[in-house]
Amino acid sequence: MKSGFWRYSDELILLGVSLFLFLVASNTQAGWLYLLNSILLGTLLAGFIISRFSLRGLAIERRLPFIASEGETIRVTLRVLNKNRLASYFFSIEEFFPAASPENLKCGRMFVFERLPGKATDFVTYEAECYKRGIYTFPPLRVSAGAPIGFFNAIKALNVPGVLTVLPTAPALRDGHFSTARFESSPHNTARMRSGHSHDFLGIRQHQPGESTRMLHWPSVARTGILMLKEFENPVGSQVFIFLDTNRRFHTGLGKEASIEYAVKLATSVARHALLHGQAIRLMAARQGEFFALKTRDLLQALRWLAAVEADGEMETEKMFVKLNEEIPRGSRLMLILPEPSVNPELFVPLMDKKIKCHPLLLKTETFIENIESVAPAPDESPQQEVIILNRMRSLGLSPVVCGRGDDLLRCLREQGGLFK
């Protein structure tokens, strides 16, 4: 599409022709040429005015599901309303679906309206595949009109707010992968949360048959006549901590095959499995120099959090570990998803001193680099160095698992199954 000055190249040529005709008319006194010239200019001016008028009074709304999953095809509907009394002609709307694949990202969808009567509404619908997880904001719609003869095409950027959250998908962990003996099963195949022994009051809920009556909430019982239990925040043992190192310096790869995507998928699988079995999760990551954490029992909330994760962290690894040490209670279970180059086994020592059981998953980031042959290895990234690091971690009592591009994520998680034991 022509842009800038060249967008009006045809019109400028016509203006040049008009000027030439005027000069010829002036020199030859050919009266009809003046009139022809005036008609030419009048046509250009009419095109300029009518095209801008066609854009006035157009209002557009977008309807779409706000949550979708990776790879899911969603339907987007645009509702176009003409607020004018007169009809609008020959305008087009170009929509750029933000969650499209990279090759389709710049290809907008164009919808042409030959005529939209005054005070009338029209709908256009299209389907689009959500390529990758993320939180996407729809860019402004490009509305253009050149009615009726295509001169001085008016283009207007119409901002129709729209946010689409594409949740990450990940292979589902099955119970057989881990030992879940701590959980009681119910007829409805749902896990029940046990009241914890901490002092964090969570709320009250109805007493279920078979449960202890030690923590009855007597005021509610007296008021309602129904047995109601006090609920406390689950103790340390029933919470899963998941940490993602999002340091931009270490993550590599593009698109869906980027190392950060693998990290998110791993975290998604673990989080979903934990929530499915009634465990609360605490997701942690460093984003743009700040440490972010989410404590939740809501899968959708967790998935939204994970959808927003990007490899944009700027916090030093040492600082992250210090922060982890501060945040995570003693005796907790912590899954760390780290890009391999950032790993310093000594940083685990303070955590282990605090009896925090660390389960590191290392991402072999060099496997995510396209055209790896053209990249010279860093001096300290020799294969021997990797072995040294892994050995050191094992010597500290850790069980690191290395995951590269193309590896089976479930296998990696199974190898790290100690998280749920």
Return the residues of window 171-200 that contact other proteins according to CB under 8 A.
Answer: 188, 190-191
CB of 239 to other proteins, least distance (A): 12
For other proteins, which residue of 19, 110, 349, 388 counts as binding (CB under 8 A)? Answer: 110
Residue 227 found at the interface with other proteins (CB under 8 A): no
Cα 401–Cα 340–Cα 402 angle in degrees, nearest 5:
20
Candidates 70, 80, 100, 162; binder of other proteins (CB under 8 A) is 162
The site map against other proteins for 84-103 (x = CB under 8 A) is: ---x-xx-x-----------
265 binds other proteins (CB under 8 A): no
For residue 265, report the phi and psi dihedrals to the nearest 5 degrees: -65, -40
Alpha carbons 363 and 353: distance in angstroms, whole number: 25
Is 277 a binding residue for other proteins by CB under 8 A? The answer is: yes
Three-state DSSP state, 375? coil
Pick one of 5, 73, 103, 161: the residue that binds other proteins (CB under 8 A).
161
- Give the dihedral sign, CA 335/340/345/346: negative
Among 73, 137, 213, 371, binds other proteins (CB under 8 A): 137
Q: Which amino acid is at 286?
A: A
* DSSP string of 106-150, one letter each residue: T--EEEEEEEE-TT-EEEEEEEEE--S-EEEEPPPEEEEE-TTT-
Contact between 225 and other proteins by CB under 8 A: the answer reads no
Give me the least distance between CB of 250 and other proteins, in Å please: 25
Coil, strand or helix: which one is 388?
Answer: helix
> Residue 270 and residue 418: Cα distance in Å, rounded?
12
From candidates 132, 194, 272, 333, binder to other proteins by CB under 8 A: 272
Label residue 358 exposed, middle or buried (CB < 10 Å: 0-12, 13-18, 19+).
Answer: buried
Residue tagged 């005796």 (tokens): 331
Residues 296-325 that bind other proteins (CB under 8 A): 297-300, 303-304, 308
Retrieve residue 271's tokens: 């989080």
Q: Which of 3, 29, 371, 374 binds other proteins (CB under 8 A)?
A: 29
Distance between CA atoms of 254 and 271, rounded to whole angstroms? 24
Q: Is 114 in the site for other proteins (CB under 8 A)?
A: yes
Q: Which of 16, 71, 148, 377 binds other proteins (CB under 8 A)?
A: 148
Among the candidate windows 73-81, 248-256, 283-291, 293-301, which touches other proteins by CB under 8 A? 293-301
Q: Rounded to the nearest whole angstrom, what is the least distance from the CB of residue 294 to other proteins in the complex?
A: 12
Q: Examine residue 8 and tell whether it contacts other proteins (CB under 8 A).
A: no
Q: What is the closest distance, in whole angstroms, from the C-beta atom of residue 276 to other proteins in the complex? A: 3
CB-wise, 278 or 339, nearer to other proteins? 278
* DSSP letter (8 states) at residue 249: T
Tokens of 34: 């003046």
Burial-class residue 62 by CB neighbours within 10 Å (0-12, 13-18, 19+): middle
In the complex, the smallest distance separating the C-beta of residue 244 from other proteins, rounded to whole angstroms, is 18
When the beta carbons of 142 and 256 are compared against other proteins, the nearer one is 142
Give Cβ neighbours of residue 213 (< 8 Å, ≥ 6 apart): 207, 227
Cα separation, 305 vs 284, whole angstroms: 10
| Distance of closest approach, residue 132 Cβ to other proteins, in angstroms | 15
What span, in angstroms and rounded, lies between the C-alpha atoms of 369 and 86?
57
Of 159-167, 334-342, 344-352, 361-369, the segment contacting other proteins by CB under 8 A is: 159-167
390 to 409, contacts with other proteins by CB under 8 A? none
Contact at 8 Å (CB) between 220 and 204? yes
Q: Residue 35 or 387: which CB sits closer to other proteins?
A: 35
Question: Apex CA 336: angle with CA 314 and CA 380, to 5°?
Answer: 65
Residue 260 or 275: the one with the smaller Cβ distance to other proteins is 275
| CA pair distance 154, 141, nearest whole angstrom | 13
Confirm or reject binding of residue 413 to other proteins (CB under 8 A): no
Q: How far is the CB of 284 from other proteins (least distance, A)?
A: 18
- Which residues within the stretch 31-50 sit at the binding site for other proteins (CB under 8 A)? 31-43, 45-46, 49-50
